[in-house]
């Protein structure tokens, strides 16, 4: 086994630490976390191709994360591994991916194109398969470890600051964010509307509130305040001229997260990934339609005429995806896991489009060659030079989507969907 290295590995580690520190200083802890998740997603995608190609006996010349100048690399055996400067993707170089690639005669038996049909399909689809596995893992972890919102579990999601007071009625009563409200004056609470109605009808009256806090159940007494006497950001909650006012405790009522069993998390994750997969296909069809391209161009040419609905439905570049993921992390780990799950599914789906240079293009060629081949004859090989005009049109469409979405994400970013 031969081994060569471009530079010491610790230089890469030191550089990564410095970059992470700078990113955290600019965008908080969520920014480097999200970027690390995206890089890991890319690395695992390429690892799927790498492992299946190796197991299939194909020659793999390189496995790199990123593009541009090489920051670090090492050669072990016949494969060079490395990291490049721009972590916007990655690649695995497998010998003989197309019929027109020049391959050394000694390597031809181990080329991608010389391999069997099942192995070619397996290697080409491995990247997307990794994304779907990651999506299922993220969905299951979210449901099992965090849970999903349950309308029967009503809790304190936030406090509302009242002008002129250091603690509102809820805070004075000892309520805390995260408390689950079990009952009020002996009445069980099973939905947010019931709790809100009871509080609104009890201005100036004492309420006995039983809450679950961790493993303990507490009984707290709170007195809702008449909304006519409450000022929030300079405005009365209710007009002081009204004969009566509703009661307020100063809480944000929310449906709490309830963890699922391993089996419920499994079935729930399958449903969630399935529905997101279907939505991704629908979204992709809209994006690559004439209407989709027209709407996108109109947003670039006349952003002031773009509605919030149109803006929310347009494709996003990596800049926009990272921004939304960071916003989701600030809103809670559950939201971040969902965004990463959806991102994995979308990337997995788009990579399966039957067009070069995407993985789906290699799968389509393998299927076409399989159909055209006859037993007992030399295997048919498609002439991809005849496909290149279509490939160029497709690449132009991808470039249009990339540039326009990048421009919009920088010049006219979407609003925070988690506020």
pLDDT digits (tens, 9 = 90+) for 121-147: 999 999 999 999 999 999 999 999 998
Residue 126 domain flag: no
Alpha helices in 4-116 (DSSP H): 9-27, 30-55
Alpha carbons 154 and 194: distance in angstroms, whole number: 10
Tell me, yes or no, whether 234 and 96 share the same domain.
no
Are the beta carbons of 253 and 195 closer than 8 angstroms?
Answer: yes
Tens digit of each residue's pLDDT (9 = 90 or more) over 180-218: 999 999 999 989 999 999 999 999 999 999 999 988 999
Q: What is the mean pLDDT of residues 233-257?
A: 92
3-state secondary structure of 225: strand
Alpha carbons 267 and 355: distance in angstroms, whole number: 33
Residue 132 domain flag: no
Q: How many CB atoms lie within 10 A of CB 377?
A: 7
Tell me, yes or no, whether 251 and 283 share the same domain.
no
Alpha carbons 248 and 224: distance in angstroms, whole number: 5
Tens digit of each residue's pLDDT (9 = 90 or more) over 314-339: 889 989 999 999 998 887 888 899 99
What's the pLDDT band for 399 if we cut at 50, 70, 90?
A: very high
From residue 35, alpha-carbon distances to 20, 24, 150, 195, 282 in Å are 9, 11, 31, 40, 27
Are the beta carbons of 353 and 157 closer than 8 angstroms?
Answer: no
What CATH code is carried by the domain that includes residue 196? Answer: 2.30.42.10
For 355, counting Cβ atoms within 10 Å of its Cβ (0-12 exposed, 13-18 middle, 19+ buried), the class is: middle
Tell me, yes or no, whether 68 and 214 share the same domain.
no
Of 258, 291, 321, which residue is a domain's last? 258
Residue 125 domain flag: no
Given this model, what pLDDT does residue 20 score?
80
Structure tokens at 257: 């997260």
Tens digit of each residue's pLDDT (9 = 90 or more) over 12-26: 777 778 888 887 787
Among positive and negative, which fits the CA dihedral 355, 361, 367, 368?
positive
Residue 129 domain flag: no
Tell me, yes or no, whether 102 and 197 share the same domain.
no
What is the percent of the chain with per-residue pLDDT over 90, rounded to a whole number?
Answer: 66
From residue 405, alpha-carbon distances to 61, 70, 312, 408 in Å are 34, 28, 12, 5
Alpha carbons 190 and 322: distance in angstroms, whole number: 37
Tens digit of each residue's pLDDT (9 = 90 or more) over 260-305: 899 999 999 999 999 999 999 999 999 999 988 999 999 998 888 8
Given this model, what pLDDT does residue 60 score?
96
Given this model, what pLDDT does residue 124 score?
97
Tell me, yes or no, whether 419 and 274 share the same domain.
yes
Alpha carbons 33 and 38: distance in angstroms, whole number: 9
Of 258, 288, 308, which residue is a domain's last? 258
Element (H, E) at 156: strand 148-159
Are the beta carbons of 139 and 268 closer than 8 angstroms?
Answer: yes
Of 230, 258, 286, which residue is a domain's last? 258
Alpha carbons 34 and 37: distance in angstroms, whole number: 5
Structure tokens at 115: 């391999």
Given this model, what pLDDT does residue 1 score?
44
Ordered DSSP codes for 59-116: -EEEEEEEEEEEEEEEEETTEEEEEEEEEEEEEEEETT-STTS---TTTGGGSTTTS-
Among positive and negative, which fits the CA dihedral 177, 180, 185, 189?
positive
Tell me, yes or no, whether 264 and 254 share the same domain.
no
Tell me, yes or no, whether 375 and 270 share the same domain.
yes
Kindly give the interhelix angle for 318-331 and 333-351, rounded to the nearest 10 degrees: 150
pTM: predicted TM-score of the whole model, two decimal places: 0.84
Alpha carbons 179 and 156: distance in angstroms, whole number: 5
Containing domain of residue 175, as a range?
Answer: 149-258
- Domain count for the chain, please give it: 3
Are the beta carbons of 363 and 125 closer than 8 angstroms?
Answer: yes
Residue 46 domain flag: yes
Ramachandran quadrant class, 233 (left: phi over 0; alpha: psi -120 to 50; beta: rest): left
Tell me, yes or no, whether 299 and 357 share the same domain.
yes
């Amino acid at each position: 086994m031969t081994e060569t290295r471009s530079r010491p590995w610790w230089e890469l580690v030191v550089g990564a630490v410095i970059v992470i520190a700078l990113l955290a200083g600019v965008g908080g802890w969520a920014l480097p976390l999200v970027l690390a998740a995206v890089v890991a997603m890319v690395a695992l995608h390429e690892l799927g191709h790498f492992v299946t190609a190796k197991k299939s006996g194909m020659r793999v010349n390189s496995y790199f994360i990123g593009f541009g100048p090489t920051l670090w690399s090492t050669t072990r055996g016949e494969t060079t591994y490395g990291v490049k400067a721009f972590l916007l993707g990655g690649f695995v170089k497998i010998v003989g991916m197309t019929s027109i690639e020049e391959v050394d005669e000694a390597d031809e038996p181990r080329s991608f194109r010389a391999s069997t049909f099942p192995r070619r399909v397996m290697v080409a689809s491995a990247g997307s398969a990794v994304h779907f596995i990651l999506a299922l893992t993220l969905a299951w972890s979210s449901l099992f470890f965090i849970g999903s919102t349950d309308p029967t579990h009503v809790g304190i999601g936030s406090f509302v600051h009242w002008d002129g007071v250091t603690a509102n009625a809820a805070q004075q009563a000892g309520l805390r964010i995260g408390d689950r409200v079990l009952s009020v004056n002996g009445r069980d609470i099973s939905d947010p509307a019931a709790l809100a109605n009871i509080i609104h009808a009890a201005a100036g009256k004492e309420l006995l509130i039983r809450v679950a806090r961790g493993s303990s159940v507490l009984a707290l007494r709170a007195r809702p305040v008449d909304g006519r006497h409450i000022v929030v950001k300079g405005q009365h909650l209710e007009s002081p001229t009204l004969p009566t006012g509703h009661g307020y405790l100063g809480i944000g009522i929310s449906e709490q997260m309830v963890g699922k069993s391993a089996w419920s998390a499994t079935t729930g994750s399958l449903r969630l990934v399935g529905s997101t997969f279907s939505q991704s296909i629908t979204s992709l069809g809209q994006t690559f339609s004439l209407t989709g391209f027209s709407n996108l161009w109109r947003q670039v040419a006349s952003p002031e005429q773009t509605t919030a609905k149109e803006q929310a439905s347009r494709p996003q570049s990596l800049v926009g995806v990272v921004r939304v993921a960071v916003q989701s992390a600030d809103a809670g780990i559950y939201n971040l896991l969902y965004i990463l799950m959806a991102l994995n599914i979308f990337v997995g789906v788009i990579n399966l489009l039957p067009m070069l240079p995407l993985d789906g293009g290699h799968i389509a060629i393998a299927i076409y060659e399989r159909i055209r081949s006859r037993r007992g004859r030399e295997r048919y090989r498609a002439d991809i030079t005849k496909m290149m005009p279509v490939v160029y049109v497709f690449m132009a469409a991808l470039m249009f989507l990339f540039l326009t979405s990048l421009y919009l994400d920088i010049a006219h970013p979407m609003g925070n969907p988690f506020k």
